[in-house]
Structure 1
Amino acid sequence: MNKLLFLDFDGVLHPTHFAGQDPFNRVHLLEETFDGSNIGIVISSSWRFTHNFEKLQKLLPNSISSLVIGVTGSPVIGKHPRYQEILNFLQSHGVSNWKALDDSYWEFPSPCPELIRCNPNTGISEKQMQELSQWLLN
């Protein structure tokens, strides 16, 4: 696997405020996009602080959880924390081709070509899936 996707949950797999809705109600879009792809998924969501790795995997459909290879490490305090956490993970795993699906754009430098920015009010949509598909094909 030569590509890694860093996956946030809130604002990506469901709207940030999903009260009354199913959590992970947008995950089916990822299933369609990843079908047959050779990609590793790393969970960068803050859910990693309250759920262990096995629990995080169980929250996702099998077709996606089978692609999950880990979680980003300790939280980084300071400028662009999510981006720094991702760089720390990349350094220890020797991968340089990556994207992040995230709604917390302020946690990344601007511009950040690796960031596929999601709308926190809706989660992922066709727009982000097209961008992700283009990257997977290249």
Structure 2
Amino acid sequence: MILFLDFDGVLHPVSREAGTFAHLIHFECVIRDFPGVDIVISSAWRENHSLEELQAFFTSDLRQRIIDVTPVLSHLSHQYLRQAEIMLWLREAGREYEGWIAIDDSDWLFAPACRNLILVDTDIGFDSIAEKNLRAKLSGY
């Protein structure tokens, strides 16, 4: 199973009123319950940070599970940009037949009714509803 993770609007509300990565501890507690899940960063943060810098935001026991970042594609060439980046990563990694989930706050970056998307409220971030949805999807694999 591969989890594609956005940061802004997920690991913290877009406003960042509670601080950057305000929900990271909550997210990490959930993901620890699913040790077979690899995490790929799909956040725009990947455009300004190396993989090692992105891994450093997480606690040491989870850093090795942050395995990569999605490629950056042009908005002009793809209608559902984040999903296109995810699909390209899956093909290039040879993992296109594996299960995947994306946690994101921007539904317009995905095809309508994308079954793999866990949509998070951009003003709230990773909350108990997102946790319930993530646990349900990960438990199904």
When normalised by structure 2's length, the TM-score is 0.90
Q: Which residue of 2 aligns with 1:116?
A: 118
Contact 1:76 1:85 survives alignment (8 Å): no
SS of corresponding position for 1:101: strand
Q: Structure 1 stretches of 5 or more lacking a match?
A: none
Q: How does 1:63-82 map to 2 (within 5 A)?
A: 63-77=61-75, 78-82=78-82
Q: Which residue of 2 aligns with 1:26?
A: 23
Q: How does 1:7-86 map to 2 (within 5 A)?
A: 7-19=5-17, 21-37=18-34, 38-77=36-75, 78-86=78-86
Q: Which residue of 2 aligns with 1:136?
A: 138
Distance in 2 of aligned mates of 1:106 and 1:46? 15
Distance in 2 of aligned mates of 1:73 and 1:97? 19
Distance in 2 of aligned mates of 1:84 and 1:97? 16
Could you list the structure 1 runs, at least 4 aligned residues long, displaced by more than 4 angstroms after superposition: none
- Return the offset for 1:125: 0.7
- Return the offset for 1:69: 0.6
SS of corresponding position for 1:106: helix
**2:116 alignment partner AA:** E
Contact 1:4 1:98 survives alignment (8 Å): yes
Distance in 1 of aligned mates of 2:42 and 2:27? 16
**Matched length:** 135
- Return the offset for 1:17: 1.4
SS of corresponding position for 2:25: helix
Identity score, percent? 33
- Return the offset for 1:36: 4.1
Distance in 2 of aligned mates of 1:43 and 1:31? 14
